[in-house]
Structure 1
């Protein structure tokens, strides 16, 4: 709506429209800052629903007694519950008119979030690139979530392909931001882990710690999960993600398609499946990069495998970092997944690959 010196002199038609159709590609400008609406308080109820939708078994987050034994006053919320909730806050302004969310970089889990914490999110547009078809373009943003005390708890870069409202609209010169290949060790969270985290093995029943993983090692996670229509519908609503591609089956059918499973739900499902083989992982420290390679739909069965990319020295005797590459597939087993050779980069994936995620977790070390 145009701003006027005299608020009484309004265009009646504009005043009545109250357009909530979201931003299209030509509406974005590099440097634009957006404070997203309706901060969200997360509760134990959100945690329970998240577990019900994903099967998460993370020891630190599963029981209050576990967390206290590991040196925490209370059990924190699952990192991806926090990420997906914060992500959902950005959708009405950034990706309501998205074609697809394309990738992530520099995702930093800066501080644990606990039940009762309230998240507020703001975003800066850091890059734009119109597609050659002129029907859409890629928007690059950096978003930050803060708690009720104004403390940063999460930040991330993502890029999303967004429809243009007017295919002929003029767009500025392309600007694609540079991102780090991996969040460096000195920017990873470490201060809230004490030597007591080693006691996690008594809770999980498995003894594999940081020293027991080797660079290049492959782990085929044995489980698989079929995504029901109700699963991804509830998950998307839990995160208040209003993207039409996930919500509006009628609109998707009109374009010859069907509703897409929100990519963050795929990440959460794969992370839950990856518990088997990474049982003593404490929490996520970073997502270094990732992409939703192909779409998922209701009825798809998801499986995944992990490769250890690196072992990260966090400068502490009791905890280290594991940089992992997790590839998720639909309607196939984990054994079918092909990891690229070192130095090969990110080759073209087959059509059944739905996720390629490079992330870092905290893992207890053995006592010397």
Structure 2
């Protein structure tokens, strides 16, 4: 019997199946520093212990998307090692801050399956829950991923597609307990614009662009212990559809979030992901740009110091966003690579 694992193929999954993932991951200051070096995020809460303490934290929390990617990375060997592509996200909530020294682990449950018409692949839907060393849920989310079949002729699992909410209701958004943003340092944050200053329908061009280097995306994906073959194995991918390795979609998410600082500098916390779609593949050498639209605003239960903005952030490759590409309600313009719908928390007046 082989002592190695080829990963799960589509026909190996069953609705209701529970997957307990290896390996628990303790995050430290080195992880934070490397994440900062890779993406250049400038949000002050995750950059400064002093800013965080003034807001009621014991110290600066780990970037929300770093925690997300680590929780996600645990799932890859069991869910998406044989993936063709990660397709989307829904019903994601960030429930508890993560700090250096916290250990994260992940459990997933298969909630849906659908074979594709080509008979060679299928879509697997999973709900993943990330916990810290105390058993507290720090975040949970649903994602769906296209996975290869082991054999095209193999019988497929019965189709069962879950019904997912279009958005996380603002009533369920969680603000960190024990914090107070009423006197948040706007000089330190680099932005004078608070929740009250944004209007529904407003569009913000984040202006800057970042070119993805091969070494950076591979280092980032290793940071999350994400072992998906499509990101690492040029020998195999060179013979595949694109002839080269794909950039992990989460890499684009983190770049878009970092770029959004220019225009959303006080969007200090990501609190939910309503939905997300990796519209097109991205490769090393592509330059990523981003713009955001304010889709909705909401008050946060029990908090007068924070408000919630629902944002739709579009990332493009090799296409500056000054003209806001395409009529998105009629389809995506060429060059759009990410469409992310999410809630952030921002100090208010």
Q: For residues 326 and 48 of structure 2, what CA distance do their matches in structure 1 show? A: 35
The counterpart of 1:183, out of the listed 168, 178, 184, is 168
- TM-score normalised per structure 1: 0.92
Q: Deviations over 1:45-102 (max 9, x none)?
A: 0000000000111110101111111221111000000001110100000000000000
8 Å Cα contact 2:295-2:311 kept in structure 1? yes
What SS does structure 2 have at the residue aligned with 1:196?
A: coil
**2:11 aligns to what?**
26
Residues 283 and 213 (structure 1), Cα distance of their counterparts in 2 relative to 1, 3 Å cut: same
Secondary structure of the residue aligned to 2:244 is coil
Instruction: Pick the aligned partner of 1:65 from 50, 71, 91.
Output: 50
1:10 is aligned to none
Q: Given that residues 108 and 285 in structure 1 are in contact (C-alpha distance below 8 angstroms), is that contact kept between their aligned partners in structure 2?
A: yes
Once the two structures are superposed, the pairs formed by residues 1-368 of structure 1 within 5 Å of their partners are 14=1, 17-192=2-177, 194-256=179-241, 257-315=243-301, 316-338=303-325, 340=327, 344=329, 347-366=330-349
Deviation at 1:246, TM superposition (A): 0.1
TM-score (norm: length of structure 2): 0.97
Separation in structure 2 between the aligned mates of residue 350 and residue 95 of structure 1, nearest angstrom:
28
Q: 1:344-363, CA deviations, whole angstroms, 9 ceiling, x for partnerless residues?
A: 4xx42123111000010001
Tell me how many residue pairs correspond in the alignment: 347
CA distance in 1, matches of 2:67, 2:333: 30
After the TM superposition, which parts of structure 1 deviate over 3 Å for at least 4 consecutive aligned residues? Answer: 193-198, 338-341
SS at match of 1:318: strand
SS in 2 for 1:111: coil
Aligned equivalents of 2:208 and 2:78: distance in 1? 36
Unaligned runs of 5+ in 2: none
* Mean Cα deviation higher: 176-185 or 322-331: 176-185
Instruction: Pick which of 348-357 and 108-117 moved more.
Output: 348-357
Contact 1:102–1:158 (Cα < 8 Å) also in 2: yes
Cα offsets for 1:116-158 (capped at 9, x unmatched): 0000100000000000110000000000000000000010000
Q: CA deviation at 1:194?
A: 3.6
Gaps of 5+ in 1: 1-13
Cα deviation, residue 313, structure 1: 1.6
In the TM superposition, residue 196 of structure 1 has moved relative to its aligned partner by 3.5
Equivalent-residue separation in structure 2 for 1:282 and 1:133 (angstroms): 43
- If you compute each CA radius of gyration, which structure gives the higher value, 1 or 2? 1
TM-superposition CA deviations, 1:227-269 (whole Å, max 9, x none): 0111101011111110000010110002251001100010000
CA shift digits 1:270-307 (9 cap, x unpaired): 10000011111121000100011000100000000000
CA distance in 2, matches of 1:276, 1:244: 34
Instruction: Report if aligned partners of 2:211, 2:286 keep a CA contact under 8 Å in 1.
Output: yes
- What is the SS of the residue equivalent to 2:98? coil
